[in-house]
Every structure is written in C-alpha cells, then in structure tokens.
Amino acid sequence: MAITVVGSVAFDSIETPAGRRERCLGGAATYFSLSASFFTDVRVIAVVGEDFGSNQEAVFHARDIDTQGIERTTGKSFFWEGSYLDNLNEAKTHTTDLNVFAAFEPKIPVAYRDSEFLFLANIDPVLQRRVREQMPDVRLVAGDTMNYWIKDHRDALLLVLKGLDILLINDTETRVLGGNKNLVQAARAVMALGPETLVVKHGEYGATLFHSTTPKSKGAEFRAPGLPLEVVVDPTGAGDSFAGGFFGYLASQPELTPAVYRRAMFYGSVMGSFACERFGTERLQSLTRKEIDDRFILFRELTHID
Amino acid sequence: MAITVVGSVAFDSIETPAGRRERCLGGAATYFSLSASFFTDVRVIAVVGEDFGSNQEAVFHARDIDTQGIERTTGKSFFWEGSYLDNLNEAKTHTTDLNVFAAFEPKIPVAYRDSEFLFLANIDPVLQRRVREQMPDVRLVAGDTMNYWIKDHRDALLLVLKGLDILLINDTETRVLGGNKNLVQAARAVMALGPETLVVKHGEYGATLFHSTTPKSKGAEFRAPGLPLEVVVDPTGAGDSFAGGFFGYLASQPELTPAVYRRAMFYGSVMGSFACERFGTERLQSLTRKEIDDRFILFRELTHID
C-alpha cells in the first residue's frame, strides 16, 4: 500500500563530535520517505524554495519516491541548524528558519488520493490537520509532533490527535503531553486523546509500543531495543527514520496483526540505527534491503532468549 | 552453588513521590541477598551495629540466607538517607553515615569458604579486595561500584577490577570509568581493565550485557528490557536486586553458556522490576518463585518476535 507523507523537506547544517556539514538535505519528510521507501511506495507533500534543485530531487527519485506533491515556490527552503556536541541524544537547535513553510497551503495531488496510509510528520498541527481532512478515506494515519507544538499549540494538536491511529513521540514528549511523570500512565493519558497506538521512542534505548485496546495480560506493551552503536556520526533524522521503517513495514503487510506491529517496531529500530551511522541522509541513500534484513536478524539476536 | 556476598547491610530513610519511610532495612548486600535467595544459597558478609536486631535478622532468615558472616559491633549500622522527588531514576543522597563500616575488617566464616560464587557489592574497593583475596578459589566473581569510588578511589578500584569476572554498573559509571561518551567504546575500555563481562544497567530501559571475548558477529551484546511499570513506589535497591537475580540465576546453573547469561539478564530485570513496586525490601520479602517465573514470561513476551 502506498504511503503519503506530509512534512518538512529542508536543508540542515549539523555539527556533531564527528564533524560538521553545511546545508545537507534534511527534513522529517525526507528521512521518513527514504526510510519507508525500502518497504513500500512513498509520496511526499511538502514545499521547497528555489534552493531545492535537481541534486536534491535526485535523492528522492533514486528511491522511486513520488515528488509531484513537493511544491516549488519563490524563496528559500526550510532551514535548520543544530549541534550535538555535548549530548548525542539531544540536538541543540541554533536556527530554525521556516522560510517557504510559513505560508504553506498543502495540496494533495490527484495521484496521491488512493494512498491507504498517511503519515503526518512533525510540522505545524494546523498543516497536519489540513492534510488529514483532505484524505478522509485513508486506512491508517500515523503522526509525529514535538514539545514546541505540545506546549504552545496544544489546542491545534489535540484536533490532530483525534484523527490519528498511531502517534510516535519520545519519552519527554509523552510525559509532557500526558501530564504524568510515569511513562505508562502518561502513555495511557496520551492514547485517551485519540491514538489507539502509541510508539514512545527512547533514543539509544529503543522504543516501546503501547496499544490502548489490548489487555495488559496479552502483551499490550512491546519493547524494541536500540542497537548499541560503536560510532554515532549524526543522530539527525533517527526518529523520522524509525517512523519510516515502522510505518513502511506496516504498509507493506496484508494484515495488521500484533505480530506485524512487533516486527514493525524492530524495522523502526533498524532504520533509526542506520540513520545515525553517517551525516544527514548519506547512510539511507547507500543502504540496501539486504543490509536491512541482516540488521533485523542482529536486532532479534540482541534480545532473543530460548 | 552458594554465593558469598560482601556489602552494606544498612538502615535507609527514603522519600519518593509515593511517601516516606524511616530507617527501613536496606543496603546493597541486603537487596542482593534477598533477590539471589530465590535462585541459590546465599551467605552474607557485613557489619552492623547495636541497632540491628532480631526483626532485621528475621528478614534474612525467612529467605534462608546465612547471616553468620554479619558481624555485630558497638555503634550504629550504616545509614543512608535519600529522596527521588524530582527524578525516580536517580537518588538524591542527603546523608551517608558509614558508622560501623568505617572500621570494618571483613572476615570469612569457615562455612563460607566453599562458596563458588562471590559478589562484591558496592562498598569501599579496599574492602572488596580484602574479601576477594581471602577467597582465591571461587569460580566466578562479580562486583558493583559507583561514581564516588570511580572518581576518588580509582587506584584501589582498578586493583579490584583485575580480579573480577563480571562488573555490573550503570551507563554513567561505564562512561566515566571507560573515559568515553560512547557506551560501546566505554564498555570495551572498562572490560580492558579486567572483567571479561560487563553488565550496564539502564534503569527503566533495562540492561546490556557485553562480553569482551565474543566476536561481535556472534551476539557479543545482549539487551534485556526494563518492564514499563505503572507504579514505581521506590527504586532503592533495584540495581542490587538486578545483580541478585542475574548472579543468583548464574549460580543456579550447571553450565555458564551464552544462553544462560541471556536468561540471567532477564532474571536480573525481573528482580529489579519487583524491587521498585514497594518501599525498601517489602516486595522482595513477599515475593514467590511463581511470581518471578510469571514475570519472566511477561518480559520474554515484551521483546519476543516470531
């Protein structure tokens, strides 16, 4: 099944202990698309400026990602500058220039209308909602957000949450959105706001899947480990790559059973681990399906007991 | 096989968001012993003061723990006071009174000499070493330590590490001791100091097992998850209870295969999760082997994929 994703396609300047990159291709929708493209067809909705050229577009096309929903307009593309010098687990943001995203009016190309899966990457919840409303018939909707929207745009976000089947956020976001320091209680509070399924990402420690409708005795929670990585070059996009692997795998399956959700969590962790191995999207661009499957086995081995 | 453990037997005053307890039975050797006693015979070496009475001793005897190595002396027992009001993952220490531990000269009862397993709980590395030297013929030695010893008593600690087969410490301790922010690289640096096996405890996220001699391709690393707990009453002793479950299970097995180490990691996580459910040692005192086995299955389910 095809996935339509809306989110940022951007340029990032990144500094990590491994070095610095200026204006490399980035953005949540970019990482998500590249990651999900190893599992299913992906269609992107975003807006870019005049600085987005054929080199950038070629990155999407090399993975057969449909870019007709990427609108070109005058001005500059979304720009983010951040560093991870003290802590590889948390970016320090130096600059966020919305640029062309400030006046973005998302439009869904006709060819995208039959997408059965929709991913609302981390952008203004008002934009997430507009896309959601234009695609009322999708089978499964997942989304991401961040503390800025949770804290300062809560009402708009709450409207988005009502239309989500799956929310993917991190520990801190779960605690803030759920208003509870205890992760399990916070997760339950978040699911009460709409999404039946919640994926809480723990950075290097993996991620936990919560389902509101599964009785606790039947394995309502599932933990995918993080891979202990000897070299973390650049964690930018790891969460979006996780989401791409998770949702991409779901979209590739004929039936969404509990076992499929569990495997999707592992594919999420697999894709997140690859994303960290080089700067920006470099590792996702060079990746092969064989490498993904080999790492899936490594992840399984990492937690498997007889 | 019997385990001899040396470490603190103490009184703790604890404050958490769930409430406060004054002078309850605590100490690393206490939590370790209670936890390990569900798997094998346990013998304790410690020193206590006149405030340690038959009520405290009864807690050990109820679990058939040998206390003849707990020396009684004049003065007060080790006392610790701490709180977890802002962060359940990290204690804020208010008081540490070594009391009778300040002049402790550990002696090994003759009846302990045939112990094949030795656990050096978190105390002054000088004491850990004295116990180690008095038991040269043990089959497997594991130990714990903390940042205070790592930072301010490094030379004494390094001598202990040379005599350890297994070290159990947390993420921060691993990074500080290994002198590297990357956990995998830090783990390797720590193992180069002596222990062939390193267990890094991640608090609520579980723990990772590293073996220095296993090739990476053969699963040198293993991650046991933490159980998402809906109520954490008191995390005091969770790490020592993990160690007790881990080492107790190892001591109960006829052969120390990689599969046994993996199961030991799960038993460690199981015992750590129970310890948090009530104040002090309360939950470990009321626990049954059936509950442990049921939770082991729950943990397996938490990470199992087909």
User: B184 vs A230: CB contact, 8 Å cut-off?
Assistant: yes
**Confidence (pLDDT) at B88:** 85
User: B228 vs A205: CB contact, 8 Å cut-off?
Assistant: no
Which tens digit of pLDDT belongs to each residue from A244-289? 999 999 999 999 999 999 999 999 999 999 999 999 999 999 999 9
- pLDDT, mean of residues A228-245: 95
**Confidence (pLDDT) at B219:** 60
CA distance B78 to chain A (A): 31
pTM, entire model: 0.93
Inform me whether the C-beta atom of residue B203 falls under 8 Å from chain A C-beta atoms: no
CA distance A167 to chain B (A): 18
Nearest to A204 by CA among A245, A248, A176, A171: A171
Inform me whether the C-beta atom of residue B204 falls under 8 Å from chain A C-beta atoms: yes
Inform me whether the C-beta atom of residue A257 falls under 8 Å from chain B C-beta atoms: no
Q: Is B273 exposed, middle or buried (0-12, 13-18, 19+ CB in 10 A)?
A: buried
Inform me whether the C-beta atom of residue B78 falls under 8 Å from chain A C-beta atoms: no
Residues 108-147 of B with CB under 8 A from A: none
Question: Is residue A10 pLDDT above 90, yes or no?
Answer: yes
**Confidence (pLDDT) at A101:** 93
Which tens digit of pLDDT belongs to each residue from B31-75? 999 999 999 999 999 999 999 999 999 999 999 999 999 999 999
**Confidence (pLDDT) at B218:** 59
Q: Is B146 exposed, middle or buried (0-12, 13-18, 19+ CB in 10 A)?
A: middle
Average pLDDT score over chain B:
95
**Confidence (pLDDT) at B215:** 65
**Confidence (pLDDT) at B105:** 94
Average pLDDT score over chain A:
95
How far apart are alpha carbons A289 and A36 in whole angstroms? 11
CA distance A228 to chain B (A): 6
Please answer whether residues A284 and A34 qualify as being in contact, where contact means their C-beta atoms are separated by less than 8 angstroms: yes
- pLDDT, mean of residues B238-265: 97
Which residues of A are less than 8 Å from B231 in CB distance?
182
Which residues of B are less than 8 Å from A88 in CB distance?
181
> For residue A153, how many other CB atoms are within 10 A of its CB?
15
User: A305 vs B183: CB contact, 8 Å cut-off?
Assistant: no
Question: Which among A221, A232, A303 has the least Cβ separation from residue B223?
Answer: A303
Inform me whether the C-beta atom of residue A225 falls under 8 Å from chain B C-beta atoms: yes
Question: Is residue A216 pLDDT above 70, yes or no?
Answer: no
CB pairs below 8 Å between A and B: how many?
A: 86
CA distance A22 to chain B (A): 24
- pLDDT, mean of residues B25-30: 98
pLDDT band at B25 (very low <50, low <70, confident <90, very high): very high
Which tens digit of pLDDT belongs to each residue from A16-71? 999 999 999 999 999 999 999 999 999 999 999 999 999 999 999 999 999 999 99
Inform me whether the C-beta atom of residue B90 falls under 8 Å from chain A C-beta atoms: no
Nearest to B65 by CA among B152, B130, B141, B3: B3
User: B301 vs A219: CB contact, 8 Å cut-off?
Assistant: yes
Which tens digit of pLDDT belongs to each residue from A67-123? 999 999 999 999 999 999 888 888 999 999 999 999 999 999 999 999 999 999 999
Least confident of A109-118, A218-227, B89-98: A218-227
Nearest chain A residue to B230, by CA: A184
Question: Which among A208, A229, A300 has the least Cβ separation from residue B228?
Answer: A208
**Confidence (pLDDT) at A37:** 98
Residues 6+ apart with CB under 8 A from A109: A43, A68, A69
Which residues of A are less than 8 Å from B224 in CB distance?
303
How far apart are alpha carbons B111 and A280 in whole angstroms? 62
**Confidence (pLDDT) at B19:** 95
- pLDDT, mean of residues B176-196: 96
**Cα-based distances in Å from A278 to A10, A34, A48, B146:** 18, 14, 24, 34
Inform me whether the C-beta atom of residue A294 falls under 8 Å from chain B C-beta atoms: no
pLDDT band at A218 (very low <50, low <70, confident <90, very high): low
Inform me whether the C-beta atom of residue A7 falls under 8 Å from chain B C-beta atoms: no
| Single-letter amino acid code for the residue at A129 | R
pLDDT band at B281 (very low <50, low <70, confident <90, very high): very high
Inform me whether the C-beta atom of residue A181 falls under 8 Å from chain B C-beta atoms: yes
Question: Is residue B217 pLDDT above 60, yes or no?
Answer: no
pLDDT band at A241 (very low <50, low <70, confident <90, very high): very high
**Confidence (pLDDT) at A90:** 83
How far apart are alpha carbons A183 and A273 in whole angstroms? 23
User: A303 vs B225: CB contact, 8 Å cut-off?
Assistant: yes
Which tens digit of pLDDT belongs to each residue from A113-157? 999 999 999 999 999 999 999 999 999 999 999 999 999 999 999
pLDDT band at A5 (very low <50, low <70, confident <90, very high): very high
Which residues of B are less than 8 Å from A221 in CB distance?
228, 302
Nearest chain A residue to B208, by CA: A228
ipTM of this complex: 0.90
Nearest to B135 by CA among B37, B31, B2: B2
**Confidence (pLDDT) at B86:** 80
Inform me whether the C-beta atom of residue B306 falls under 8 Å from chain A C-beta atoms: yes
Q: Where are the beta strands (DSSP E) in B140-264?
A: 140-144, 166-170, 197-201, 207-211, 221-224
Nearest chain A residue to B86, by CA: A181
Question: Is residue A217 pLDDT above 60, yes or no?
Answer: no
**Confidence (pLDDT) at A143:** 98
Question: Is residue A213 pLDDT above 60, yes or no?
Answer: yes
**Confidence (pLDDT) at A287:** 98
Least confident of A151-160, B23-32, B80-89, B266-275: B80-89
Higher pLDDT, B214 or A44: A44
Inform me whether the C-beta atom of residue A224 falls under 8 Å from chain B C-beta atoms: yes
CA distance A259 to chain B (A): 7
Inform me whether the C-beta atom of residue B228 falls under 8 Å from chain A C-beta atoms: yes
CA distance B219 to chain A (A): 7
CA distance A283 to chain B (A): 20
